[in-house]
Chain A
Amino acid sequence: MKVVEINDVYKTYHDTEVEVKAVNGVTLSFEKGDFAVIVGPSGSGKTTLLNLIGGLDQPTGGEIIVAGHRLSELKPSELIDFRMEHVGFVFQSYNLIPVLTASENVGFILNLQKWPKEKRKARTDEMLASVGLSDRHNSRPSQLSGGQQQRVAVARALAPRPEFILADEPTANLDTKSAETLLDIMEKLNHDEKMTFIFSTHDIRVMKRARRVITLEDGRIVSDVRVNNN
């Protein structure tokens, strides 16, 4: 079942005197349960493609369909609701809300989605347990290590049961042990909950775990390889 369909998508920037084609005619789709990485050198368009898939940015050409929504047809306010309902984001620099505890950060989107308090608490507890942080409910981000913060970010992204998770360089700021722990958790969630993960990364540790590796160069797909890591 296709979660994301990308048809001949372009993204051109005119910020400078030179026209930059960050994404140049990409056609691609992701199936439910994919554990895919998008790799490529800096400036190859990885993050731009991720932003387009997540509805953070609009393509200058082509079409992106996510969970039946044509993103180009959505208004900015509808795009925000779309992101809340369908996309989970994990950022390179964790981006937790510093004034909230781990538990409150995980429950934040559930709160925006107006989940009842009891259900929200149960889901928050479940997600914190799944990332191995049951004992850090009341810790603020500043009281957690980088690895722990990123695990909270993963729990936050997964809590509302999105269609897929977009993770932009999630391990870039983590040491080997923390990165491996995080990837173990993501792999387990992918396996147990059939959650779709789409990474953009340079990290070889992530590539080794991926079951699909898409390589971008100058905004174009140069390879799309399925790997059997089992």
Chain B
Amino acid sequence: MITSIAWKNVWRNRTRSLTVIAAVTVGVFAGVFAMAAINSSIVQRIDAAVNEELSHIQINSKEFRSSSDLKNVIPEPEKVISVLQNIPEVTRIAERIIVRGIASTSAGSTGVEITGINVGGEEEMFTLKTRLIPGTGSYFGSDTRLNSAFIGEKLAKELYIIRYILTEESFGTLEESGVPSSVAEKLKPLENQRFTTEKKLTEAITGLLSARESKEYGMMIREAAWSYREGSRIILTFLDADDNQTGAAFRICGIFRTNNDLFEAMSVFVPENELRRLTGLGEGEYHRIIARLADNDLTDRITPEVTEALPGLEVMNWKEIQTDLAMIADYMNQIYGIFMALILAALAFGIVNTMLMSVLERTRELGMLSAIGMNRRRVFSMIMLESIFLSVVGGVAGMVVSGVVIGITGHTGINLVKYSEGMEAFGYSAHLYPTIGADFFMILTVLIVITGILSAIYPARKALQLNPVEALRGE
């Protein structure tokens, strides 16, 4: 009965209740969606770091990270592999030779980390192959005439391997992308001109187009002008195991594009046997052994196990290597908490205000209820239930809307390409796929009910303080 009256009371002033419910819905949606977007950004970054750059656990000699001496190899690598193989949660293992050196072309040079990989096993270990930019090669294909190197787009740009040329084909691409012919016409003076950097092309475009056109079509024009000459080569120079300078020309067998500019700029992958030959390292000598786990969440549990089993070696997990990322991942709970608190505080203020108005305008009725025998507990319960109904209806509506929007955008993605430069500099994707766990929704539901209860306390106390005689007089 009390429940039924409370529910009916919610709809007594339909406009007011719907306004509050709409406000709660929008508030919950905004909070949950923002949370999902932030969460996805961090989850994507962690997944990329683990799947493309670091793996879960890295093992090397204690001196390796601080010294560039190639002799700092792992003693008894077979023992390391045996330890890892005996841990059921370890799903994949790979050995690496790592050399610091210089990559150069006739146009430029830069410091890099050259990683010798087992080409066959690498595809199982990392998903970097899927990041291959179409048209830049076939990863480590069958052409073995020359040493092959798989490099990042950023490095390719720094070495001027990537250039920008608006060819006839580029103009065709622009037309297909919906760039107006008037804009294409303005760009005609640039046809077949070669720009060594994106910046130079951008400056040329800005000189020909209006500010609005540059902003709207600049990205498409740069994409269309992006040009790579297949079979480009780089020279990799480094010290061998005897500290003699050595090096060789490597044919680019593919360029990868990730969301991490630093990783793209620093990484060169070459076949392990080539690097072993050039450096003079012996068979079975490796600088690093990396392990993948079945799940990111296992990292904290498995790392100490491996460390204990390999006392003479440095065992580090992805959180210890990329402390900034680990810190953000660890702060996620706090970020969740802050967002939830903001959502619930907004909800609480709305509910308190509405319930207080509702109580004050029902003074006479509440007096009557007390007069005819409705006790304080029942009056309190009624106000409490009204508040909970308001909160839950708004909260559930907000979560349903959030769920639907997150479901759609989680599939289609949110394109933040406009801000990609800034985001990718820090390793974050400009394409977000919002996602949030079901547990977040469950916790939020419970917290919304608790907020509804807490928000009702003040209005309910006001109702209990009413003197029936005065209330019946309408005072």
Size range of the chain B interface in the assembly: 20 to 34
Contacts of A102-156 to chain B: CB distance below 8 A: 108-109, 111-113, 156
Contact B365 A80 (CB under 8 A): no
* Any B CB within 8 A of the CB of A85: yes
Residue of B nearest to A54 (CB): B371
* Any B CB within 8 A of the CB of A67: no
Contact A80 B5 (CB under 8 A): no
Contact B371 A83 (CB under 8 A): yes
Which residues from chain A contact B374 at a C-beta distance below 8 Å? Answer: 80, 84, 112
* Any A CB within 8 A of the CB of B375: yes
Q: With A81-B373, A99-B8, A109-B372 as given contacts, are A51 and B364 in contact (CB-CB < 8 Å)?
A: no
Which residues from chain B contact A91 at a C-beta distance below 8 Å? Answer: 368, 472
Contact B472 A95 (CB under 8 A): yes
**Quick one: which of B1, B365, B370, B371 contacts A108, CB cutoff 8 A?**
B1
* Any A CB within 8 A of the CB of B459: no
In whole Å, how far is A72's beta carbon from the nearest beta carbon of chain B?
16
Q: With A56-B468, A112-B378 as given contacts, are A95 and B373 in contact (CB-CB < 8 Å)?
A: no
In whole Å, how far is A46's beta carbon from the nearest beta carbon of chain B?
14
Which residues from chain B contact A54 at a C-beta distance below 8 Å? Answer: 371
* Any A CB within 8 A of the CB of B12: yes
**Quick one: which of A57, A89, A99 contacts B372, CB cutoff 8 A?**
A89
Q: With A80-B374, A84-B373 as given contacts, are A99 and B472 in contact (CB-CB < 8 Å)?
A: no
Contact A84 B372 (CB under 8 A): yes
Provide the bound-state CA to CA distance between A99 and B369, in Å.
Answer: 13
Provide the bound-state CA to CA distance between A224 and B16, in Å.
Answer: 52
Contact B371 A89 (CB under 8 A): yes
**Quick one: which of B11, B364, B375 contacts A81, CB cutoff 8 A?**
B375
In whole Å, how far is A156's beta carbon from the nearest beta carbon of chain B?
8
Provide the bound-state CA to CA distance between A99 and B364, in Å.
Answer: 14
* Any B CB within 8 A of the CB of A97: yes
Q: With A56-B468, A56-B469 as given contacts, are A77 and B8 in contact (CB-CB < 8 Å)?
A: no
Provide the bound-state CA to CA distance between A8 and B370, in Å.
Answer: 27
Contact A100 B8 (CB under 8 A): yes
Residue of A nearest to B364 (CB): A95
**Quick one: which of B1, B8, B376, B472 contacts A80, CB cutoff 8 A?**
B376
Provide the bound-state CA to CA distance between A109 and B468, in Å.
Answer: 17
* Any B CB within 8 A of the CB of A98: yes
Which residues from chain A contact B370 at a C-beta distance below 8 Å? Answer: 80
Which residues from chain A contact B472 at a C-beta distance below 8 Å? Answer: 56, 91, 95
Provide the bound-state CA to CA distance between A85 and B375, in Å.
Answer: 12
**Quick one: which of A56, A97, A99, A111 contacts B371, CB cutoff 8 A?**
A56
Size range of the chain A interface in the assembly: 20 to 34
* Any A CB within 8 A of the CB of B9: yes
Q: With A56-B469, A100-B8, A108-B1 as given contacts, are A95 and B376 in contact (CB-CB < 8 Å)?
A: no
Provide the bound-state CA to CA distance between A95 and B469, in Å.
Answer: 13
Provide the bound-state CA to CA distance between A156 and B374, in Å.
Answer: 14
In whole Å, how far is A164's beta carbon from the nearest beta carbon of chain B?
14
Provide the bound-state CA to CA distance between A113 and B371, in Å.
Answer: 14
**Quick one: which of B8, B365, B375 contacts A95, CB cutoff 8 A?**
B365
Provide the bound-state CA to CA distance between A4 and B372, in Å.
Answer: 18
Contact B368 A95 (CB under 8 A): yes
Residue of A nearest to B6 (CB): A99
Which residues from chain A contact B468 at a C-beta distance below 8 Å? Answer: 56
Which residues from chain B contact A113 at a C-beta distance below 8 Å? Answer: 373
Q: With A56-B468, A95-B472, A99-B5 as given contacts, are A83 and B12 in contact (CB-CB < 8 Å)?
A: no
In whole Å, how far is B170's beta carbon from the nearest beta carbon of chain A?
69
Residue of B nearest to A94 (CB): B368
Provide the bound-state CA to CA distance between A100 and B12, in Å.
Answer: 11
Which residues from chain A contact B372 at a C-beta distance below 8 Å? Answer: 83-84, 89, 108-109, 156-157
Provide the bound-state CA to CA distance between A78 and B328, in Å.
Answer: 58
Q: With A91-B368, A91-B472, A95-B472 as given contacts, are A77 and B373 in contact (CB-CB < 8 Å)?
A: no
Contact A51 B368 (CB under 8 A): no
Contact B371 A77 (CB under 8 A): no
Which residues from chain B contact A85 at a C-beta distance below 8 Å? Answer: 373
Q: Mark B1-22, 1 if CB is under 8 A from A, else 0.
A: 1000100110110000000000
In whole Å, how far is B475's beta carbon from the nearest beta carbon of chain A?
11
| Beyond known contacts A80-B375, A81-B375, A157-B372: 15 more, CB 8 A cutoff | A54-B371, A56-B472, A81-B373, A84-B372, A89-B371, A95-B364, A95-B472, A97-B369, A99-B5, A100-B5, A100-B8, A108-B1, A109-B373, A112-B373, A156-B372
20 pairs across A/B with beta carbons < 8 Å? A51-B469, A54-B371, A56-B371, A56-B472, A77-B375, A83-B372, A83-B373, A84-B372, A84-B373, A84-B374, A85-B373, A89-B371, A91-B472, A93-B364, A95-B472, A97-B365, A99-B12, A100-B8, A156-B372, A157-B372
What 6 A-B pairs come out closest when comparing CB atoms?
A84-B373, A99-B8, A95-B368, A111-B1, A80-B375, A83-B373
Which residues in A have some Cβ–Cβ distance to B below 8 Å?
51, 54, 56-57, 77, 80-81, 83-85, 89, 91, 93, 95, 97-100, 108-109, 111-113, 156-157
